[in-house]
A = this chain, B = another copy of it.
Amino acid sequence: MSDVAAAAGVSLVTVSRAINSPDQLASETLSAVRNAIEQLGYVPNLTAGSLASSRSRIVGAMVPTISNAVFAETIEALTQTLGEGGYQLLLGQTSYRADDEQRLVDVFLGRRVDGVVLTGITHAPGLRDRLQRSGIPVVETWDMTGRPIDMLVGFSNRDAGYLAGEYLLGRGHRQLAFIGAQEDRSRQRLEGFRAAAEAAGVGAVPAQLIAPPAAMVDVRPALDALVAQAPGIDALFCNNDLLAAGVLFECARRGWSVPGRLAVMGFGDQPIAQASFPQLTTLRVHGRRIGEQAGQLLLGRLAGTGEPQAATAVDIGVELVVRDSA
């Protein structure tokens, strides 16, 4: 930086200002500095800048795994939104382990990230306090709670399940069933799904919860088990579209018509939902929008004047996508 300053015939501060607040400089000075930067191929050391300004312009984001398409979408949008605001994303994966989450938060705090994005609302013990004490903005995503750490953007899995139930019941189905995974979100969807059934006064809703990672090969035995429990099931809500597509293939194998013999509903509106035959009726969660919103909430807070702002919770909801399978 001092080389640039010397070449442009100005002081260090001026070079700094040419980079960070160009409007404050006389246009001549500015272009002189810019020339020097160009000439020397100077690349400012952002680490030094971060240390001096105590703003890292980095946001830390944690997902259970990035290779889950729904989280990938959110991270994609988040990266883009933050990038437009001049922020970079530091990625962490918890692999669904609480101690990894704990460790990652320490790393994030150690790097003095300017904000943190978390997936879900259940976290490692102590993490909540730690983050709140740090004072940096936090956004939790992909779920809903009345008691967020700070900000929140997600949707209610219970509501989603209820919506699926309502739709299927509205179409005249009376023997509902569910295939999901052994994890919280899936259970909440099931709960909402059953609540809809109960509200309509229809009987028990048998469910199969597959141990994660739920693979497609688990579909056949799960369906077998459901049919064994309730031979007359006529509508099946699956925890995700891949599972639902597996059910479609399985129905084809059994010679069951869809939705004639069995109505099938997925969750997620993944690409496969349109590729399948029949196309899947499903629930769409706008994963990109979650990332966008989370990014915007952070940028807003970071641009703010520093006074503590009211907590924000955004419910982006789920959308019913009616196609052919139900």
A residues within 8 Å of B by Cβ? 41, 43-48, 50-51, 56, 58, 65-69, 72-73, 75-76, 79-80, 83, 88-93, 95, 106-107, 109-112, 133, 215-217, 219, 242, 245-246, 249-250, 252-253, 271-272, 274-277
Q: In the complex, what distance in Å separates the CA atom of A65 from the CA atom of B91?
A: 14
Q: In the complex, what distance in Å separates the CA atom of A91 from the CA atom of B66?
A: 11
Q: In the complex, what distance in Å separates the CA atom of A133 from the CA atom of B242?
A: 46
Most chain B CB neighbours (cut-off 10 Å) among A89, A109, A111, A275? A275
Q: In the complex, what distance in Å separates the CA atom of A183 from the CA atom of B66?
A: 25
- Are A216 and B75 closer than 8 Å at their CB atoms? no
- Are B69 and A66 closer than 8 Å at their CB atoms? no
- Distance in angstroms from A171 CB to nearest chain B CB is 23
- Are B216 and A275 closer than 8 Å at their CB atoms? yes
- Are B109 and A43 closer than 8 Å at their CB atoms? yes
- Distance in angstroms from A113 CB to nearest chain B CB is 10
Most chain B CB neighbours (cut-off 10 Å) among A51, A219, A242, A249? A249
How many copies of the chain does the oligomer comprise?
Answer: 2
Q: In the complex, what distance in Å separates the CA atom of A253 from the CA atom of B219?
A: 23
Residues of the B chain whose Cβ atoms lie less than 8 Å from the Cβ of A83: 92-93
- Are B75 and A111 closer than 8 Å at their CB atoms? no
- Distance in angstroms from A212 CB to nearest chain B CB is 13
- Distance in angstroms from A253 CB to nearest chain B CB is 6
Residues of the B chain whose Cβ atoms lie less than 8 Å from the Cβ of A271: 215-216, 242
Question: Quick one: which of B69, B90, B217 contacts A274, CB cutoff 8 A?
Answer: B217
**In the complex where A51-B47, A249-B276, A274-B216 touch, is A72 in contact with B67 (Cβ < 8 A)?**
yes
Residues of the B chain whose Cβ atoms lie less than 8 Å from the Cβ of A249: 275-277
**In the complex where A88-B111, A90-B90, A246-B275 touch, is A75 in contact with B66 (Cβ < 8 A)?**
yes
Question: Quick one: which of B47, B50, B56, B110 contacts A44, CB cutoff 8 A?
Answer: B110
Identity of the chain B residue whose Cβ is nearest the Cβ of A50 in the assembled complex: B47
Q: In the complex, what distance in Å separates the CA atom of A233 from the CA atom of B217?
A: 31
| Further contacts, 9 of them, CB under 8 A, given A43-B110, A66-B66, A242-B275 | A41-B133, A45-B51, A67-B72, A72-B72, A83-B92, A89-B90, A216-B275, A246-B275, A252-B277
Residues of the B chain whose Cβ atoms lie less than 8 Å from the Cβ of A44: 110
Q: In the complex, what distance in Å separates the CA atom of A88 from the CA atom of B51?
A: 18
- Are A111 and B275 closer than 8 Å at their CB atoms? no
- Distance in angstroms from A39 CB to nearest chain B CB is 15
Question: Quick one: which of B46, B76, B107 contacts A65, CB cutoff 8 A?
Answer: B76
Residues of the B chain whose Cβ atoms lie less than 8 Å from the Cβ of A275: 216, 219, 242, 245-246, 249
Identity of the chain B residue whose Cβ is nearest the Cβ of A77 in the assembled complex: B67
- Are A47 and B111 closer than 8 Å at their CB atoms? yes
**In the complex where A69-B72, A249-B275, A271-B216 touch, is A79 in contact with B92 (Cβ < 8 A)?**
yes
